[in-house]
Amino acid sequence: MQIIIITAADANYFELVRGTILSVREKSEGAKVAIGFFDLGCTPEQLQWLETQVNFIQKPDLDFDFPGKNEAPHYLKGLLARPFLRRYFPNFDIYLWIDADAWVQDWQAVELLVKGAAKRGLAVAPELDRGYYLAYGKQPWYWEFVYRDYQVAFGEKIAQQLHTYPTINAGIFALQKDAPHWELWVEYLGEGLQRHVSLMTDQIAVVLLCKGWRKLRRLNFQHS
């Protein structure tokens, strides 16, 4: 089974992504694993280092059309390219994404994600830990904020159904190459971007994949 780990960064996030990549390469299991990288604006010196550590470097495009596309911040390219990982990095069986501000502490986490994707198509983790103060305990406005993002991007019906479910962390996931989730992710994200361009739009689209995606595909995303 061919596995690729993919991450992304610009010059400002280079030190973070350097740690991410080294956390893979310094593990015995990660020494030879394929790593793909989205260059969102790294310096020539940074790219020189990356070329010694990763197997593939790509510059992503804005793969969706949406209002304000020409003014969109450059980092959105990295977020919005993720449903198209198979196109940027072809010929792999499992695509494992890890954000630049995360790192691999124990290789068992990678193995669990790969195993889950191979079995069910998509492997993700919910943001459930009681120590996550943003959502649990110290920020009472958080769920109102989440509700508004659901409502603006996907309408009242979806907001009422899903906003209280734990957020699915879109920063680390694994997808099997033939999983049906790829096309649905494009569909959901494309719908949401027509109404609301934000970091949460991407995360909410992943929640839609996980919460009964067969049923949700039949829902009307128009505002009620």
Alpha-carbon distance 190 to 202, whole Å?
10
3-state secondary structure at position 81: coil
Q: What is the mean pLDDT of the chain?
A: 88
**Interval 50-70 mean pLDDT:** 92
**Interval 202-207 mean pLDDT:** 87
The model's confidence at residue 11, banded by pLDDT at 50, 70 and 90, is very high
Please compute Rg for the chain using Cα positions: 17
3-state secondary structure at position 130: coil
Amino acid type, 94: I
Q: What is the pLDDT of residues 89-137, one digit of tens each?
A: 999 999 999 999 999 999 999 999 999 999 989 999 888 877 777 777 7
Q: What is the pLDDT of residues 208-218, one digit of tens each?
A: 888 754 544 44
pTM score above 0.85: yes
Task: Specify the DSSP element, H or E, that contains 160.
Answer: helix 156-162
Alpha-carbon distance 192 to 151, whole Å?
10
**What pLDDT, on the 0 to 100 scale, is given for residue 212?**
58
**What pLDDT, on the 0 to 100 scale, is given for residue 26?**
95
Quick one: fold of 3-126?
A: Spore Coat Polysaccharide Biosynthesis Protein SpsA; Chain A (3.90.550)
Cα–Cα nearest to 123, from 131, 133, 115: 115
Range list for CATH 3.90.550.10 in the chain: 3-126
Cβ atoms 174, 116 nearer than 8 A: yes
